[in-house]
């Protein structure tokens, strides 16, 4: 009886593995195809029957991405705006989140709801006047336009406020007795304890910033100020069917985020789980 049961369990596990492996192949397949295509010649990519393994590692496609487009510029634009947004948002949201969670002050609930209300509004509902504001400020085709409007974050403020709420109040009392003001209490006592929340937020911001398309498309039409996403889209516009070139460009654009994910896997997963349960 027990022998029969364990056999059944092993068979069950096998079925589960088979399903998961098939699914995993579907998930990873396009990435493998991206890599393989990026090494093909244009001729190889359009052969019937298809070439699966390129005859040699043609790095030329990667070179062509750099020579036919200011790709390094795209990289720098994406990288620098992402770093600025991550640092800025984590800092601002952490401060605001702390104040909303830990300090009693007049108008607190109203101001918090005001900031939170933005979460319910699709960005299209304010993107046109925001664009007109960029025109007025003379920020079109600058990295400032990509960074500054995105520094304040309702999502981040909410997330970190929840985090500070879950920390014990007693720490604050001890610090107050030492004569610290709230700003000092925040950066000396509470901010270090909210590190995992801030890392989760940093990952979200990095991901959104790296991959965002619509806003850069609207404000930065000059290739010198485009991020990777918009740059890649314009690459497609000009080399529509040169798939080896497009795959080489795509691969280079997505590689940094994939590497970051591989390194910080657990933080990615915990961060998403956090918003799923606390949201």
Interaction with another protein in 14-73: which residues (CB under 8 A)? 16-17, 19-20, 23-24, 26-28, 30-31, 33-34, 37, 45-50
Is residue 223 within 8 A of residue 231, CB to CB? The reply is yes
The number of helices, as runs of H, and strands, as runs of E, in the chain is 16, 0
Structure tokens at 168: 């014990």
CA geometry: angle at 50 spanning 65 and 67, to 5°?
Answer: 10
CB 126, min distance to another protein, A: 4
Place of tokens 């244009």: 42
Q: For residue 232, state whether it binds another protein (rule: CB under 8 A).
A: yes
Q: For residue 7, state whether it binds another protein (rule: CB under 8 A).
A: no
| Residues from 136 through 155 that contact another protein (CB under 8 A) | 148-154
| Residues from 210 through 229 that contact another protein (CB under 8 A) | 210-211, 213-214, 217-218, 228-229
| Residues from 86 through 145 that contact another protein (CB under 8 A) | 92-93, 95-96, 98-100, 103-106, 108, 111, 114-115, 117-118, 120-133
The size of the interface with another protein (CB under 8 A), counted in residues, is 98
* Alpha-carbon span 42 to 139, nearest angstrom: 40
Binding mask 171-210 toward another protein (x if CB under 8 A, else -) reads ----------xxx--x--------------------x--x
- Which of the 8 DSSP states describes residue 210? H
Rounded to the nearest 10 degrees, what angle do helices 154-165 and 108-117 cross at? 130
Q: What percentage of the chain's residues is helix, strand, coil (to nearest 5)? A: 80, 0, 20
Nearer of residues 60 and 130 to another protein, judged by Cβ = 130
């Amino acid at each position: 009886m027990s022998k029969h049961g364990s056999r059944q369990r092993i068979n069950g596990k096998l079925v589960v593995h088979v399903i998961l492996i098939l699914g995993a192949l579907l998930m990873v397949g396009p990435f493998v195809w991206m890599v393989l295509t990026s090494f093909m010649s244009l001729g190889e990519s359009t052969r019937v029957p298809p070439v699966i393994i390129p005859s040699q590692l043609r790095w030329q496609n990667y070179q062509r991405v750099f020579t036919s487009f200011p790709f390094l510029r795209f990289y720098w634009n994406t990288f620098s705006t992402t770093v600025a947004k991550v640092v800025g948002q984590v800092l601002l949201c952490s401060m605001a989140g702390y104040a909303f969670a830990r300090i009693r002050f007049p108008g607190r609930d109203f101001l918090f709801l005001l900031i939170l209300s933005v979460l319910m509004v699709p960005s299209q509902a304010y993107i046109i006047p925001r664009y007109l504001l960029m025109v007025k400020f003379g920020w079109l085709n600058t990295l400032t336009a990509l960074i500054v409007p995105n520094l304040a974050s309702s999502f981040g403020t909410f997330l970190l406020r929840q985090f500070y709420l879950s920390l014990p109040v007693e720490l604050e009392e001890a610090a107050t007795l030492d004569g610290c003001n709230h700003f000092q209490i925040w950066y000396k006592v509470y901010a270090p304890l909210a590190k995992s929340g801030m890392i989760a937020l940093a990952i979200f911001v990095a991901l959104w910033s790296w991959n965002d398309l619509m806003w850069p498309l609207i404000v930065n039409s000059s290739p010198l100020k485009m991020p990777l996403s918009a740059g890649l889209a314009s690459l497609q516009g000009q080399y529509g069917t040169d798939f080896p070139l497009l795959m080489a460009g795509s691969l280079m654009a997505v590689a940094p985020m994939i590497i970051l994910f591989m390194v910080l896997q657990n933080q990615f997963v915990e961060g998403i789980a956090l918003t799923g349960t606390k949201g």
